[in-house]
């Protein structure tokens, strides 16, 4: 008579609960690399993300440039290109809202929440991948800026500082878009809600014209606009001028926006997926 084996097959131990910085960094990179791979498989996103700012450069430099005079700058190109840099990275943050809204509508966020991963990594990875995409778009814009006559007159160190300020704002605004993407019900709504507030913010600013040319009441609004502050700071650094307190104010705005909207996004993420 053959003996029946009673050995219980070995099972792999369950994965430990995701917690701590190691899990955070690992899961964040996993999420970020997932989105980056998706972008590489769909290069149309990168193409269209760069066409719009190039059109703005051509429009403002070659159509309006001859009619706009900006005191203190040798050319309109030197004044407007940093403003287009800032506008480009802000507009690029809308992909965070679109991506999260799509994941929510398809139930992918719920699937991620069922996995033993560090939950905040879902949003951090999403915003980080969009930041890297903004880096690519920025360098394309920098090349276009050189073509139309923009120069780094303040030197490389100040140019690096100006670029880091822009990227800090790019990440901060991605958190605003993350909150929007988690709050709406569809990708179409995310597209509308993500853009509707950015147009007045970028145009009621010093990005394209000096605020001194605006009516007093409008200039007051433009001067306290955080988009104006970061544009003035980066423009001064790129051109070798004294930025005054604008650098520190830009850092404070970027940090404040990031903290507030990341907390709101995490809270919305948890409540929307429960």
Yes or no: say if 161 and 247 are a contact pair by the CB < 8 Å rule.
yes
How large a percentage of the chain has pLDDT more than 90? 32
Average per-residue pLDDT for the chain: 83
Examine residue 14 and state whether it is found in any structural domain, yes or no: no
Place of tokens 């000096």: 210
Mean pLDDT of 90-99: 88
Examine residue 196 and state whether it is found in any structural domain, yes or no: yes
The Cα angle at residue 230 between residues 32 and 200, in degrees rounded to 5: 90
Yes or no: say if 122 and 109 are a contact pair by the CB < 8 Å rule.
yes
The torsion angles phi and psi of 60, rounded to 5 degrees, stand at: -75, -35
Where are any strands of DSSP class E within 35-123? none
Structural domains counted in the chain:
1
Examine residue 241 and state whether it is found in any structural domain, yes or no: yes
Q: Largest alpha-carbon pair distance within the chain?
A: 102
Residue 256 to residues 115, 160, 175: CA-CA distances in angstroms?
A: 31, 22, 11
Per-residue pLDDT reduced to its tens digit, 58-83 = 888 887 776 677 777 778 888 989 99
Per-residue pLDDT reduced to its tens digit, 41-63 = 777 777 777 787 788 788 888 87
Examine residue 8 and state whether it is found in any structural domain, yes or no: no
Yes or no: say if 273 and 113 are a contact pair by the CB < 8 Å rule.
yes
- Give the chain's length: 274
Flag the least confident range among 132-146, 159-173, 226-240, 255-269. 132-146
Percent helix, strand and coil across the chain, each to the nearest 5: 75, 0, 25
Structural domain boundaries enclosing 260: 29-64+75-273
Nearest to 266 by CA among 14, 12, 24: 24
The pLDDT value given to residue 10: 45
Measured over the CA atoms of residue 71, residue 75, residue 76 and residue 81, the dihedral's sign is negative
Q: The pTM is what?
A: 0.83
Yes or no: say if 181 and 98 are a contact pair by the CB < 8 Å rule.
yes
Examine residue 143 and state whether it is found in any structural domain, yes or no: yes
Examine residue 171 and state whether it is found in any structural domain, yes or no: yes
Examine residue 10 and state whether it is found in any structural domain, yes or no: no
Examine residue 137 and state whether it is found in any structural domain, yes or no: yes
Of the two residues 249 and 122, the one the predictor is more confident about is: 249
């Amino acid at each position: 008579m053959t003996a029946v084996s009673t050995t219980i097959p070995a099972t792999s131990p369950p994965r430990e609960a995701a917690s701590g910085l190691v899990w955070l960094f690992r899961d964040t990179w996993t999420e970020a690399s997932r989105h980056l791979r998706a972008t590489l498989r769909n290069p149309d996103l990168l193409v269209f993300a760069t066409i719009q700012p190039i059109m703005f450069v051509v429009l403002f430099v070659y159509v309006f440039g001859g009619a706009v005079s900006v005191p203190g700058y040798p050319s309109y190109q030197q004044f407007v290109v940093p403003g287009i840099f800032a506008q480009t990275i802000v507009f690029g943050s809308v992909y965070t809202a679109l991506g999260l809204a799509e994941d929510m509508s398809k139930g992918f966020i719920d699937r991620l929440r069922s996995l033993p991963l560090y939950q905040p990594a879902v949003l951090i990875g999403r915003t980080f991948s969009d930041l890297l995409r903004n880096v690519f778009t920025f360098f394309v814009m920098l090349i276009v800026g050189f073509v139309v006559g923009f120069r780094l007159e303040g030197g490389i160190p100040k140019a690096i500082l100006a670029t880091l300020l822009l990227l800090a704002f790019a990440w901060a605004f991605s958190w605003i878009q993350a909150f929007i993407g988690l709050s709406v019900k569809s990708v179409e709504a995310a597209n509308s809600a993500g853009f509707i507030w950015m147009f007045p913010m970028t145009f009621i600013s010093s990005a394209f014209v000096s605020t001194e040319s605006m009516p007093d009441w409008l200039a007051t609004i433009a001067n306290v606009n955080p988009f104006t502050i970061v544009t003035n700071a980066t423009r001064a650094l790129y051109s070798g001028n004294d930025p005054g307190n604008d650098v520190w104010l830009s850092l404070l705005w970027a940090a404040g926006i990031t903290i507030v909207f990341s907390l709101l996004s995490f809270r919305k993420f948890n409540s929307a997926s429960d």
